[in-house]
A and B are shown apart, each in its own frame.
Chain A
Amino acid sequence: QITLKESGPTLVKPTQTLTLTCTFSGFSLSTSGVAVGWIRQPPGKALEWLALIFWDDDKRYNPSLKSRLTITKDTSKNQVVLTMTNMDPVDTGTYHCAHTTTWAFGYWGQGTLVTVSS
């Protein structure tokens, strides 16, 4: 059974760096073809893909946010970490991590709400 769960701060101040952790079970991120992505959703708005990390440590970023994002993995801990620098109130939203092997996200974490406010 594949599960994912996001963790991190619920409140960050403008200009701060956000660090979110996705802890998963039921699969290994060292298995060929497996990837974990991050997707966010501002309140009442659409989903937006942020970043993706593959089993071989290859990484992809949303071009519009690439300069602010870093995604890493710790295979031994079954974790994926996303950092986003220079946070702004427009970055407020729910951040999800999700599993993919088919260029579609088949398993999602419940999401974590991050509010950016001074």
Chain B
Amino acid sequence: QSALTQPASVSGSPGQSITISCTGSSSDVGVYNLVSWYQQHPGKAPKLMIYEDITRPSGVSNRFSGSKSGHTASLTISGLQAEDEADYYCCSYASTNTPFVFGTGTKVSVL
């Protein structure tokens, strides 16, 4: 099972919206509604931002939203803030034997 493909970096100015893509295949992202997104600040543990493609856990800002089209999932951050600068990883259920496949990671920079 190969890692999901994400852009290496995405940047935006404060207040803008950015979108991070996560491309999988018909074996993972395209089949199950089980994509999750994680935010990771340097030296910290990842934090769950979105699960089941579009659901925000309690306490996560509504500036973060998830979507999916075909084999590609996306995380959109609206009203970009300095604190959003971090690495972001997608993850998808892939099969009974491989329940988790992570993406390659995207570094978000706030200009």
Instruction: Tell me which residues across on chain A come within 8 A of B91, comparing CB atoms.
Output: 47, 49, 104-105
Q: Which residues of A contact B (CB under 8 A)?
A: 37, 39, 45-49, 52, 60, 62-63, 96, 102-106, 108-111
The answer for the CA separation of A80 and B89 in the assembled complex, in Å, is 24
Number of B residues with CB within 8 Å of any CB on chain A:
26
**Residues of B94-111 contacting chain A, CB below 8 A:** 96-105
Contacting residue for A106 out of B1, B57, B99, CB 8 A: B57
State whether A63 touches B36 (Cβ < 8 A): no
B93 at the interface (CB under 8 A from A): yes
The answer for the CA separation of A96 and B93 in the assembled complex, in Å, is 19
The answer for the CA separation of A29 and B45 in the assembled complex, in Å, is 21
Contact A103-B98, Cβ < 8 Å, known A47-B46, A109-B45:
no
The answer for the CA separation of A73 and B5 in the assembled complex, in Å, is 33
B34 at the interface (CB under 8 A from A): yes
Instruction: Tell me which residues across on chain A come within 8 A of B64, comparing CB atoms.
Output: none
State whether A63 touches B97 (Cβ < 8 A): yes
A-B contact pairs, 27 of them (CB 8 A): A39-B102, A45-B105, A46-B3, A46-B103, A47-B38, A47-B89, A48-B102, A49-B101, A49-B102, A52-B99, A60-B96, A60-B99, A96-B46, A102-B51, A103-B34, A103-B51, A103-B93, A103-B99, A103-B100, A104-B34, A104-B36, A105-B36, A105-B38, A105-B48, A106-B48, A106-B57, A108-B45
Instruction: Tell me which residues across on chain A come within 8 A of B102, comparing CB atoms.
Output: 39, 46-49
The answer for the CA separation of A108 and B52 in the assembled complex, in Å, is 18
Instruction: Tell me which residues across on chain A come within 8 A of B38, comparing CB atoms.
Output: 47, 105
State whether A110 touches B45 (Cβ < 8 A): yes
- Give, as a whole number of angstroms, the nearest-CB distance from A39 to chain B: 8
Instruction: Tell me which residues across on chain B come within 8 A of A47, comparing CB atoms.
Output: 38, 40, 46, 89, 91, 102, 105
State whether B100 touches A49 (Cβ < 8 A): yes
- Give, as a whole number of angstroms, the nearest-CB distance from A7 to chain B: 15
